[in-house]
Structure 1
């Protein structure tokens, strides 16, 4: 199956973050029969962030493609660059902020756990 229809969501101050979070959905959640909530390329412009939030009924894997991020993993901050992978299991919290000069590009897989 070739996927030709895609949507892009732009969230302002997502989860209390700064600026816009742009999500370019790679496939619709219906493709996986509800097993995933989202599989998307996420773009954060310099200075933008996805605010600190807890995963309720979902887990998330993020793969950094480009840029420099400040990642908060349950209160522990780390700097991430291209090639880094982080996982936030159900019930845990995280945030991510673009602290670089270029766009932060990442792939995000959000899985429904229930």
Structure 2
């Protein structure tokens, strides 16, 4: 199956999961996975949250920033992959002056 993100309407989300600023996203969702192509605006963040029934893999296409991952901080740039396993927590922060463009997959584990 090919997922063509250009055919999926982009949504602007504000304060995603309790974070700050704007996240623009195109999502494909079925009962087992969420597949997302997203842009986190400069200065924006996702809220700190725990993956209780799923995990998340985030591939950074462009931009720079950091993740708060459990009790640590991890910096990222283009080509970085962040993995948040089930039972762990994270938040994403755009530290730059350009959008952070990323591709993410959230597989459900129930």
Structure 1's consecutive aligned runs of 4 or more residues displaced over 2 angstroms after TM superposition are 1-5, 7-10
Aligned with 1:51: secondary structure?
A: coil
1:3 and 1:14 mapped to 2: Cα distance? Answer: 23
What TM-score comes out, normalization by structure 1 length? 0.86
CA distance in 2: counterparts of 1:3 and 1:76, whole angstroms: 34
Count residues with an aligned counterpart: 108
Question: In structure 1, the residue corresponding to 2:17 is in which secondary structure?
Answer: helix
Q: RMSD of the TM alignment (CA)? A: 1.5
What residue is the counterpart of 1:62 in the other structure?
A: 58
- Structure 2: 5+ residue stretches without partners: none
Aligned mate of 1:106, from 86, 90, 102: 102
Structure 1 stretches lacking a partner, 5+ long: none
Judging by fraction of residues, say which structure has more strand: 1
Mapped to 1, the partners of 2:76 and 2:39 lie a distance apart of 15
In the TM superposition, what is the alpha-carbon distance from 1:3 to its structure 2 partner?
5.0
